[in-house]
Amino acid sequence: MKLTHRGPAPRRRNDFQTLKSLLPYVWQFKWRVIAAIACLVAAKVASVTLPLYLKDIVDQLSVPATLLVLPVAALLGYGFARLASSVFGELRDALFARVTQGSIRRIAAQLFKHLFALSLRFHMQRQTGGLSRDIERGTKGIGFLLNFMVFNILPTLLEITMVAGILLWRYDWPFAVVTLGTIAAYIMFTLVVTEKRMVYRRSMNDLDSKANSKAIDALINYETVKYFGNEGYELDRYDRNLGKWVDSAVKNQVSLNFLNIGQGAIITLGVTLLLWLSAEGVVSGAMTVGDVVLVSAYLTQLYAPLNFLGFVYREIKHALADMERMFDLMEQGQEVADQPDARNLKTNQASIEFEHVDFGYEDKRQILFDVSLTIPAGKTLAVVGASGAGKSTLSRLLFRFYDVTAGAIKINGTDVRNLTQTSLRQHIGIVPQDTVLFNDSILYNIAYGNPLATQDEIIQAARAASIHDFIMGLPDGYQTQVGERGLKLSGGEKQRVAIARTLLKNPPILIFDEATSALDTRTERSIQDELNQIAKDRTTLIIAHRLSTIVEADEILVLDHGKVLERGAHRELLEQRGRYAQMWALQQAGHNGEPD
């Protein structure tokens, strides 16, 4: 039987696909984009007319002193053109600021939403450090790309076109040919060399993400590193990746230097040829001093941004490479998705059925084999068994973190695949064995079960979980910060916070996955009484190792290697003298039994 779980892998994209992915977010601000481009054109028209006014001023001031008259019109025109260029440029920036920041915000929000829609499998395989770097670089790349496309590339291309047209109109064709030829050679050289350099940039990104992933992973597992004295090992692992990154960075810098040298040589050749043509024109009498000033002004005005255009193009290619990984994340296929006609689950009483369920996390390793069980509404089912028997897998399938390979899971007779994931999970509360808390206050972490809950409701849930008195004994009370992943609290304290959080959610279905495993015997007994009371009118699935906590369950299921070995009430299973009876005897004798 072949298991198919993974969503489709993202395809290798090119720059055009990356820009195409970006365009819909930008076009949501289309009127601002149109207005900004209009200001851009107006600013460039004003900028290109400046040398024309400057030529007139120089020519009028170059006549004999007896004929000298103040060139008022040319001076006023020059001043107005310079002011217009500045004003329209600033208006363009102001209009486009909302486009850039708004696009980044919407893309980041869409990506955040998409990451939460991806399956548990994806998040178990990803590396947080590398993922965060990809997102950070991608969003920065969007800002850079949008700003320089509108503020540099488009204005420069527009200016090149207008200047070449003016030179062709006013002077002989060699002026326009030299100008356009120089620009074409510059652009072609930049394109060819930059494309070859991109392999170094992609390598740097990949190595940077890997190094960052290893660093974050080591810091998250700080205690484990210290327990085994492996600081040197982690440093060496991190440093080896940085060494590879340095090699790529050096190659990237050397290729950049070669690019700059080539660009400088091309520009110098073009400038020299144009000045030569201008000088010949003045000597022959075909051009005035004002014409030389005009050509020189255009050269300064044109080649300065053109030189910057080379840098911008390189950085835009880098930005596109950075954005490529981010958009690849957005194209990561969803393994578990709502059906188009999925309906919302709405009930206060829920019955659960597993019908001949098969499941495996990987193609070659099946976990559950033909598992069938029923939990009537308001009843409690406990599942016990050795480690790897598939107990926790039941809860993951019930939450629909994965879809079953064969069979079905039903709530009130409806296959969970026909329900929306949001409504399904709103009806289920879980106290996991490994409780992870947000790096915030205890109040925040309890209130996470129901963000709309009142202070009194939060305190009531904390009392029910036997943690209120402990919290009130802390200097900051409910505002006490729990640290990264709750590291400032003990395992038992974290588990009680998790119990309070689930109680605050108040769902009709409860899952206790070793809910009291980190508690001492006295606290466990007090909480167990509360849990039994809470579970009375709810449909409850208990995954347990300590058999003493499930003797009151309506039915107990013994799993062994993914198969149902025994089922029945506590007394019935003892009378069968099978696997459950052996586990009970071992625990009663004071042995640890088999860990979950």
pLDDT for 4: 40
pLDDT for 518: 59
- Mean pLDDT across 196-222: 76
Sequence-ordered alpha helix ranges (H) in 465-552: 468-472, 491-505, 521-535
pLDDT for 592: 47
pLDDT for 112: 79
User: Is the model's pTM score more than 0.85?
Assistant: no
Distance CA 494, CA 112 (A): 27
State whether 130 and 23 are in the same domain: yes
- Mean pLDDT across 183-187: 81
Sheet containing 368-375, strands listed edge to edge, beginning at the edge strand earlier in sequence = 368-375, 352-359, 406-411, 414-415
As a whole-number percent, the residues of the chain with pLDDT over 90 amount to: 7
Per-residue confidence band for 358, with pLDDT thresholds at 50, 70 and 90: very high
State whether 175 and 54 are in the same domain: yes
According to the per-residue pLDDT averaged within each range, which of 67-81, 508-522, 534-548 is highest? Answer: 534-548
Residue 96 pLDDT greater than 60, yes or no: yes
pLDDT for 39: 87
Buried b / exposed e along 372-387 (16+ C-beta atoms within 10 A): ebebebbbbbbbbbbe
Q: Distance from CA of residue 121 to its chain's centroid?
A: 16
Residue 593 pLDDT greater than 50, yes or no: no
2 within domain boundaries: no
Q: List Cβ neighbours of 477 (8 Å cut-off, separation of 6 or more).
A: 471
Least confident range from 110-114, 127-131, 236-240, 495-499: namely 127-131
State whether 323 and 306 are in the same domain: yes
Residue 5 pLDDT greater than 70, yes or no: no
260 within domain boundaries: yes
Alpha-carbon torsion angle 57, 62, 66, 71, nearest 10: 0
Distance CA 545, CA 449 (A): 26
Distance CA 270, CA 504 (A): 74
- The tokens for 66 are 């007896």
State whether 146 and 188 are in the same domain: yes
State whether 524 and 552 are in the same domain: yes
In the block, which residue shows the tokens 């009843």?
379
Q: End of a domain among 330, 358, 375?
A: 330
pLDDT for 334: 73
State whether 392 and 261 are in the same domain: no
- Mean pLDDT across 502-517: 83
- Provide the 10 A C-beta neighbour count for residue 68: 11
135 within domain boundaries: yes
Distance CA 69, CA 61 (A): 8
Contact, 501 vs 461, CB < 8 A? yes
State whether 366 and 491 are in the same domain: no
State whether 20 and 42 are in the same domain: yes
Contact, 401 vs 336, CB < 8 A? yes
CATH of the domain at 486: 3.40.50.300
10 within domain boundaries: no
Distance CA 388, CA 393 (A): 9
Give the H/E segment covering residue 382. strand 380-385
State whether 281 and 296 are in the same domain: yes
3 within domain boundaries: no
Q: How many folded domains does the chain comprise?
A: 3
pLDDT tens digits along 416-459: 999 998 899 889 988 887 777 888 898 999 998 888 889 999 99
267 within domain boundaries: yes
pLDDT tens digits along 145-162: 777 777 777 787 787 778
Per-residue confidence band for 410, with pLDDT thresholds at 50, 70 and 90: very high
pLDDT for 154: 78
Average pLDDT, the chain: 79
Residue predicted with more confidence, 324 or 522:
324
Distance CA 115, CA 22 (A): 18
As a whole-number percent, the residues of the chain with pLDDT over 70 amount to: 87
pLDDT for 409: 92
Contact, 350 vs 543, CB < 8 A? no
State whether 490 and 595 are in the same domain: no
pLDDT for 596: 38
State whether 374 and 495 are in the same domain: no
Alpha-carbon torsion angle 126, 132, 137, 140, nearest 10: 140
Per-residue confidence band for 1, with pLDDT thresholds at 50, 70 and 90: very low
Q: End of a domain among 482, 506, 530?
A: 506
- Mean pLDDT across 181-188: 82
Q: 385 forms bridges with which residues in the sheet? A: 559
In the block, which residue shows the tokens 């509404």?
377
Give the chain's radius of gyration (CA, Å): 35
Q: Distance from CA of residue 62 to its chain's centroid?
A: 63
Residue 311 pLDDT greater than 90, yes or no: no
Distance CA 423, CA 443 (A): 25
Buried b / exposed e along 495-529 (16+ C-beta atoms within 10 A): bbbbbbbbbbbebbbbbbbbbbbbbeeebbeebbe
Per-residue confidence band for 306, with pLDDT thresholds at 50, 70 and 90: low
Q: Of 447, 461, 432, which is closest to residue 534 (Cα–Cα)?
A: 461
State whether 513 and 578 are in the same domain: yes
pLDDT for 3: 40
Q: Which domain holds residue 465?
A: 434-506
Contact, 383 vs 542, CB < 8 A? yes
168 within domain boundaries: yes
CA 362-367-373 angle, 5° bins: 135
6 within domain boundaries: no
Q: Distance from CA of residue 218 to its chain's centroid?
A: 21
Q: At what angle do helices 289-330 and 154-170 cross, to 10 degrees?
A: 150
Distance CA 480, CA 443 (A): 8
Q: List Cβ neighbours of 328 (8 Å cut-off, separation of 6 or more).
A: 10, 13
- Mean pLDDT across 373-378: 90
pLDDT for 594: 43
CATH of the domain at 166: 1.20.1560.10
Q: End of a domain among 478, 506, 534?
A: 506
